[in-house]
Structure 1
């Protein structure tokens, strides 16, 4: 950073931006504030780009001087990084802080010297020259701070007996600042101590005339009290200083209003350390009032944390007392600032008759009484900035803690501290603190389950703990059972005057109608996290109004926002809050409207899944479509689907699976089965077999209950694919036979073709190649009639496999080339990779190993890039066999073992056994350790258990060969 150098900056916008950044050095200054600072509420349409250009120009100035730019981009704006020792205001803050320390230690001479050094840094008004109104207002804060320090220095000089030399200096200041009552009081006191009481009284009279003429008010109470003391020739004026801005300490009460701390408070050390750092000001670069806003959702423990921190900091930092008020901002009758000030002034020793009626006068008296004192003010349950601002002290020796469910980002200089739910360990420790750790240790599993059931919400955890403490005969398992029914869970989370429902109700009742309606509707949606389009779908409103309603819920901490790099914001419901929203929705009379809203959301999921399938398969190929309504989204909501459809499906997997079940629960069977079968695109590619089964069985129950025969057939056909993937041949035969019957009865050519394709695979695995070939021919006819090109390519690959087994290599190659042409035409890389894999097998059988290895290497790269574990397992298997034929035994073994590992990971135990057979045959040639026999024995068991007789016979043949070879080797060894 350049020091002691003059750097010219062009006047106008660049100087304004530089000034704004320096006024808040080392803090983020938003782009909106910079626009306000330049154009004062009337920006042009290009304001944001002009700000960016100015920042760029300022950076260039530093670079031309050979220095790195101190201006860094920090969303939502910029930050000017300046070391404290290079910024006058930073040095000023350090010097005044040291002076305060010296004063407390009684070293008044040192304190005065430090304050003089600090004041000497000022060379005129902050941001001298023509600047905008917003910048001038911000700069005025520093000018005001300088005057306060100047008054403090004069006050210390008076205490050191230097009144005679001060009269001239203070007289000039009073002339410059005629309405500043503390300066006028200091001049009156200096004159009185110089033996000039008549002049002191004249200064008072002149000040009264000025104030009445300019603002229509009488002098303040402190100045009046000093005037009365001079008239009475009070001897205390010759030693003490009860003047304005520095009231006599003996006249102020020392309040201790904090509620008692909670004995079983669970330490949240990180939060406590952050809070204490803010309140102590240890990391502040310049003096100023320290304000900590503790924010979080209802029941998260904001008030408990605030009181705990306040008690911890009292003795060391705020020995002059604490003021506390529960503003009850969420209640029916919140306290007004005037009410709170009235309470605080009484606590500070002001008699009721002396408390002004006017809010501004109360604020002035309050700040006067706190001037120079070290006090902590705790304002609990605040809802808006307007409740806070009149209650803020004027002294930087004080600090303020605010708790609020809103984020209150508009409080100047405030630091926000977000309080979240408890971790499992913290919540269990809280329960143990209340009921005893022996009970918790005896039922550790139940304790963890209780915490998970209430999402670690501190209020809920505490209610559970006190209920268990009040009923020592209850086990934790009993409490867990009572909470199991989510319809009555909120009933259980109530004890005495503590209740989760009541706490949430306060927040909900404060919402405007459109936000309250959105909150209720959100209770409908069973998702892990909400994308923004869901909100628009629920409200049937894709305008900014729906986004505004959601932001109100975020501000009220009813919904949490999650922002991840390179993605749009997501919104999350705490489980307990979701239950509350569902309760409200159940009481809502517009039940049909709610179901319609849910149908729009589910239609939105279906539309996106359909679009993802189209992008992956080049169209609506190899999937059955129904008549469920779609909600086609506008704007950028489809960006993720379009950019990377398989990744989008992966990201939304949990939400989509939940949507299938929710559609079934609400009797939307058509939506349920369509969503389920459409998700096979993901389930098959990433081997999510459990999700595949669970979604399909849930949807199957719904369609069977509704008599939806086509939906039933589609799901049975898809379940047949799943059973084939898992080599459950009996189950596959059962569901595919039923699907074939239904599609034939319905005359559904496309559905029948899909089923016959799956049946052809089943017949092939069972060893009935003739029947498999017939099913393939029928499936090809159906796919041709329906124009399903990808389905056609799939079946061509299956026919090629039959040709390959029969040694008809040229025929197999012809069919595969036709399939590849189709894949390239519709741009379906995954199916193309599967077809190329089959082509690699043909090349391998033809002993064209170099070409086969090249093709399989390309296939492996594609399936790995798509995270296609099934395809990767097949590719590794074939590559392993190729390497064995070319003599690369070590690489062959590595690849085959990797293929076995992948097959077992995706629960394809039959596939793993088939690879194991090949590895066993190769190990028998290379290795005499006996592992080959172990692999073959395990494969025999697998094929027998899974009822795959053809492969069981192959495995038994190999095992017999291996055992025979081992016996022969034994006989030769014994003959030696």
Structure 2
């Protein structure tokens, strides 16, 4: 029983019932990731409960259930330990190559580097800390740089208790990720709160990245770097993290790194690779033919693996026949040479033996813009079912023309993507490719709109049959947000292309669809591009109202996500001018609200009060109660800062009065946030005026709402300041309860506020009142 026997059996049983992985997950209760990992051989030693759930979900008869049970038991006895799940959600380690051979000297060099880092970490007291180890692995395309890095991370997992992380820098693309975008992704992977990351400047994020990296014993693989600038800022300055950078270039501009140049495989290693993949004695039966195959593949691991996978699926072929076919292939793909090593003949041999529909899917997949993709992409491009698409993808995987990615996803090697595009140009008419690309864009953008609707609390429309052109469907907010994040490279590329194709109306629709998603994903570095595209597209259609709306969102993004105050102010000012020109009261109010917010953040409170008052008036005239209340809450804050406490109190009463007139009143859950914010901020007016009874009244019961939303600082202040109020009112027992509640929050409460609570308790014992004179 081989490691993958259980996975193959699960997949065969699933496909026999025409189930997708998602459908089996729903029927069995086993997660999509667990089933995908099992089918790919990543998950071994399945628990009895998991196997039983799969039996039930697959509705197995007695014979098939027995077969699955025996396969699972064999896998449990064959393996000594589970293959761990990915360490992090946003930068997990892809699956490596199980039949890895060769590169022993290179692995030894990298292993020595790990040992040096370990010894350096326990260096002499008082000595300057050494730099963490960094290895740059360079070599020609297809030489196995990524595979070597993954092998190292897998073999030495015990040296990295904090995990292994992988980032594809996509260095050959037109728009590779910037260092700041990579920093954000890694901070998210390391568990730093997204909202916290989003509020920091690029410099602050980099500082946080360095301090976090310094405390991790982990390995970080920065794959496919195009140039030094992509990685320089990502190299840790302290600590024991090992960084492995792979690149086609040696990155000579980086200092203090260890360089390892990968050449082609030695003859013996090439033979070993062929033997490991073919694995049926044919390599040893004809060593001369095996040597010819290795030479014709240029001893290049990628070409050898593609050719070997092809031979492994054709047990009737001798290695000599394979060598003859490699020698006879045409040279139409010489552009895919790596140095002087032609690899196209190996690719073409496997490609030419694909079933026509599988070959068509291969060509279509090369149109996908992002780094990796899932089954639905193939289904949309080929206009087929998800089950049929998965069959084609697995055939390509078995032929060595695709690689696996994290979870139930696939990816191309750069050379194979280029090969697929070349085959598409040679085989398919332009109209077919254009139509397929447009179909994929349409599906991606429709799914963005559907995901955004669910992610922001909307209810998605019922599923429309089994059409592959229908967007994905999401059951939960978390599932929708996960899709938007995972597919962001692909759907942003689709949005850009839609703008280039002069379809501005579609771009505007998507910009407004994702408007409310920003709050849930502040750290994504591309929101400004989304809303800039939206504004330009709205201008192209002559829709001034939409243009003003996109510019207002751009103002929000410039400051909230990037801390670019001047750009934000310029965008909001432009939004106001355009909204005024078209007479849109709602857009004018929105622009004034953002202008007031932007002036408040730089303490220009006088101007902020005027702008927000304008916004409140315009929202009322436009009949927009929800945003009138939002602006009113902002006004309470700026009036308090401006020393106009009575006006802030009057605004609070106006908010409560407006809510009381609505059908649900002040207890309508749709306005719970409005009530919470208004009460919280007016409390500070009462506190600073020494109006203890009124302050205690508006703070009463407010702590739970803030605690449920994860606002620990506000929760702490509510308990502490209400305790001060109660102490001043002579309610010592109640005050003591609030002070102890602060201490009960533990580390989630700031240290200085916990100390103030302890002082409050001491004051109660001594009969002294709290001494705080200013509340912020």
Q: TM-score, normalised by structure 2?
A: 0.49
Q: TM-score, normalised by structure 1?
A: 0.40
Q: Which has the higher contact order (CA 8 A, sep 6+)?
A: 2
